Amino acid sequence: MTRHATQPIDGQKPGTSGLRKKTRVFMQPNYLENFVQSTVDAIGGLRGKTLVLGGDGRYFGREAASTILKMAAANGAARVIVGQGALLSTPAASNLIRQRQADGGIILSASHNPGGPDEDFGVKYNSANGGPAPESITSAIHKRTQEISEYHLLDAADPDLDSLGETPLGEMTVEVVDPVSAYADLMEMIFDFNALRDVFKSGFRMRMDSMCAITGPYAVEIFENRLGAPAGTVTHGTPLPDFGGMHPDPNPTWAHELMDEMMGEDAPDFGAASDGDGDRNMILGAGTYVSPSDSFAVLAANAHLVPGYKDGLKGVARSMPTSAAADRVAEALGLDCYETPTGWKFFGNLMDAGRVSLCGEESFGTGSDHVREKDGLWAVLMWLNILAARKMSVAEIMADHFARYGRNYYSRHDYEALPTEQAEAMLGDLRSRLGELKGTQVEGLTVESSDEFSYTDPVDGSVAEGQGFRILFEGGSRVVLRLSGTGTEGATLRVYLERYAPGPDGLDHDPQEALSPIIRATEALVGIRERTGREKPDVIT
Ligand code: G16
């Protein structure tokens, strides 16, 4: 018997990147099954199809993988390619879907959110192009969760997820593959590994913090085994179900061990960290923090130095809240530059249509059209390759970049776990006043325009509305406000602050100081402190 009766469960609405909930929510009877069957139904079934399956190793991942395999078999799938131990980084899963020409994939991860029985879990469907499902599919999945009445699951023992090779599960084939090798081979095709080996031979020191999450085995293979970096270059390199208690979010707050080392005496030349599922990255030099928006701009400006991009870029794209630093590079290079809503899924069409090669987001995500996800280790290798080619330190590269293009001072302030109604009321109130803000003078700034961002996809014409509030001030400063779509507790308000300094003077201020008039103006216009009672943001990046 493979048919099981069920009933719709409330709240199974995918967010910015798949469905993310507390792990115990996912562990409730039928919860995972309902969502997976709804996904299967929304994409027109699995009969005869090939899927890729894997995740970031977090608590409940193995059990979920076994259930999904039995459901895939009962739904008539031909083959599921699964990472050994149910492990696959998100970019490696994207690569496998493309390389093996699979019909899609399921990734088990809540990304940068902590893991464990009392923390977070997530499930995400990626399409045949290797990218996160577009809104048309995620909406169809949500609709299906509201009407589902049965799911299919094979009555069988849990499949062996550890032995490489093929085994039958009913009429389906389960193919267990090494999660690392195909991805590491792809990196070897894009980057100049000979030059990078020479860099490490010359005594260059690097620290890669994998935060007890999925990139550990990938980073050890690439940096230590293939490029000859000394053993121990990769720290926190073993993926653990609870990430060793770490919050695997590569930003200055959560990757504080790495920050302390890189800002301390005798810091290595280069430091980097990645997140739970390996698609985010943070870049550091000795004594230097590179903001994600600046990192993306530097990659765009220097990509031609990397073999995989030696013929130049097709174009670039960034999410709306990401700073305009990359726009200045695009302008100088004569490249098209697209502005999309938050969420990597919005880049897929642009990459598939050959309009852009590089994409970046302020949320520590950068990537290219080598896969259809953002890619943490790819970004680290881009930086390494650029450092090798330019023979400059990270600090020198940043100073040179700002001198050439000016500096977009940038910071994001997060207010986490606010009562949802309170956060929505605050933004609802802002929405009702948006039309009246023009000309308002506050903290020495004048509001030039304000709106709620909506995006029309230039490839398929689909429209995404309500994608964040923008208040632009005369002179090019701005603040953007939106609610996160990846949290699992209440509402998280994100406040994105930006000010442009053209140079040549004033390029080396502390960003919080440089942005202080905009921070004060935001408080005057929106009243975050007053309405939430919070004295300061929980996380500043
Ligand atoms: C996901 C998406 C990203 C997005 C980020 C932040 O990242 O893939 O494209 O920028 O969420 O989303 P929010 O501001 O809504 O929390 P990840 O790394 O969590 O998969």
The residue-averaged pLDDT of 229-248 equals 96
290 C-alpha to center of ligand 1: Å? 19
The residue-averaged pLDDT of 277-289 equals 97
Q: What is the pLDDT of residue 15?
A: 85
Q: 135-163: b or e for each residue (b if 16 or more CB lie within 10 Å)?
A: bebbebbbebbeebeebbbbeeeebebee
Kindly state if the Cβ of 296 falls inside 6 Å of ligand 1.
no
Nearest 5°: phi and psi at 453?
-70, 130
Band (pLDDT 50/70/90 cuts) for residue 477 is: very high
Q: For the chain, what percent of residues have pLDDT higher than 90?
A: 93
Determine which residue's CA is closest to atom 17 belonging to ligand 1. 111
Dump pLDDT digits (tens) for 243-270.
999 999 999 999 999 999 999 999 999 9
Q: What is the pLDDT of residue 226?
A: 98
Q: For the chain, what percent of residues have pLDDT higher than 70?
A: 100
CA distance 112 to 125: 17
Q: Is 190's pLDDT higher than 90?
A: yes
* CATH H superfamily, domain 407-540: Alpha-D-phosphohexomutase, C-terminal domain (3.30.310.50)
Kindly state if the Cβ of 363 falls inside 6 Å of ligand 1.
yes
Listed in sequence order, the residues at least 6 apart from 56 whose beta carbon sits closer than 8 Å to its beta carbon are 87, 89, 90, 108, 109, 111, 115, 213, 214, 239, 276, 277, 278
Supply the angle between the helices 181-190 and 376-390 in degrees, to the nearest 10. Answer: 30
CATH architecture, range 3-178:
3-Layer(aba) Sandwich (3.40)
Q: What is the pLDDT of residue 28?
A: 97
Is 17 assigned a catalytic role? no
Q: What is the DSSP letter of 10?
A: T
Q: Is 1's pLDDT higher than 70?
A: no
Instruction: Note whether 7 and 149 are within 8 A (CB).
Output: yes
3-state secondary structure of 351: helix
Q: Which of 182-196, 236-250, 290-304, 483-497 has the lowest mean pLDDT?
A: 483-497
Domains in the chain: boundaries: 3-178, 183-405, 407-540
The CATH fold assigned to 183-405 is: Alpha-D-Glucose-1,6-Bisphosphate; Chain A, domain 3 (3.40.120)
Band (pLDDT 50/70/90 cuts) for residue 452 is: very high
Q: What is the pLDDT of residue 476?
A: 83
Instruction: Note whether 467 and 455 are within 8 A (CB).
Output: yes
The residue-averaged pLDDT of 428-436 equals 92
Which stretch, 85-94, 501-510, 521-530, has highest mean pLDDT? 85-94
Q: What is the DSSP letter of 309?
A: G
Dump pLDDT digits (tens) for 163-172.
999 999 999 9
Q: Is 487's pLDDT higher than 90?
A: no
Dump pLDDT digits (tens) for 30-50.
999 999 999 999 999 999 999
Dump pLDDT digits (tens) for 301-330.
999 999 999 999 999 999 999 999 999 999
Dump pLDDT digits (tens) for 142-178.
999 999 999 999 999 999 999 999 999 999 999 999 9
Kindly state if the Cβ of 159 falls inside 6 Å of ligand 1.
no
The residue-averaged pLDDT of 358-386 equals 97
Q: What is the pLDDT of residue 16?
A: 78
Mean of the per-residue pLDDT values of the chain: 95
Which mutation among 13, 16, 323 tests ligand 1's pocket best, with the greatest number of atoms within 8 A of CB?
16
Listed in sequence order, the residues at least 6 apart from 288 whose beta carbon sits closer than 8 Å to its beta carbon are 262, 393, 394, 395, 398
Which ligand 1 atom minimizes the distance to the CA of 276? 18
| Domains 3-178 and 183-405 alike in fold | yes
Other beta carbons within 10 angstroms of residue 71's beta carbon come to 24
Nearest 5°: phi and psi at 348?
-55, -50
